[in-house]
Amino acid sequence: MKSFAPLLLVCALSACSTHEIKTSSSENVIAYGKDIKLTVNGTNPEIIDKLTRYLQANFLIEGFNVVNDDNVTQLVVAVSAFDPGNAALRLTIGFGAGRGSLVYNAKYLNKGKVLVDYDGAERFTGLEIAPGTKYEPTRNFGGAETSTTILLEEASKHIVDLATGKSK
């Protein structure tokens, strides 16, 4: 039974998201004001629309204003890959099979200066148990719609946390 513990640890760690802040200013994004111009792009229009809505909602909750003004801090999010995964594989095989994923880059810019350049990769295996997340045991094994929602919720949370300084 003791040899099974490292395998469980590896599986749990493989469920985590990976993030890399490539560039970060010494000041928080919020120091440049609470107005944000948001641009989200990628090849899947449905995912782009949903991620935009999640980001707008999270910004509003954090007290930001999403505006259409080029003279404010700009957030450009480029989604490079999205796959909701396969619930049947997650339930029957596990160990990362059927994993959903969302890969993106988020850049906060102000007057041409890069404030934050952030590469994020969210993964959903159904094993996620973490404080502060919206994961629920019965929800974790849902299909493509559930996986998509969780991936977008997590991405938007991480991206907005960069502006508030919660991610540092």
What pLDDT digit, counting tens, does each position of 130-161 carry? 444 555 555 556 677 877 888 899 999 999 99
The CATH number of residue 76's host domain is 3.30.160
Parent domain of 30: 4-164
Residue 99: is it exposed, middle or buried by C-beta count within 10 angstroms (0-12/13-18/19+)?
A: buried
d(CA 129, CA 7): 17
The count of residues in the chain is: 168
Q: What is the pTM of this model?
A: 0.79
Note the pLDDT tens digit of each residue in 42-93: 999 999 999 999 999 999 999 999 999 999 999 999 999 998 877 666 666 6
Number of domains in the chain: 1
Q: What is the pLDDT of residue 150?
A: 84
Q: Which amino acid is at 79?
A: V
Crossing angle of the two packed helices 45-61 and 144-164, in degrees rounded to 10: 40
C-alpha distances (whole Å) from 127 to each of 12, 81, 94, 106, 152 are 7, 21, 9, 26, 17
Instruction: Locate 127 and state its tokens.
Output: 């094993």
d(CA 149, CA 142): 10
Q: At which residue do the structure tokens 């989604």 appear?
A: 79
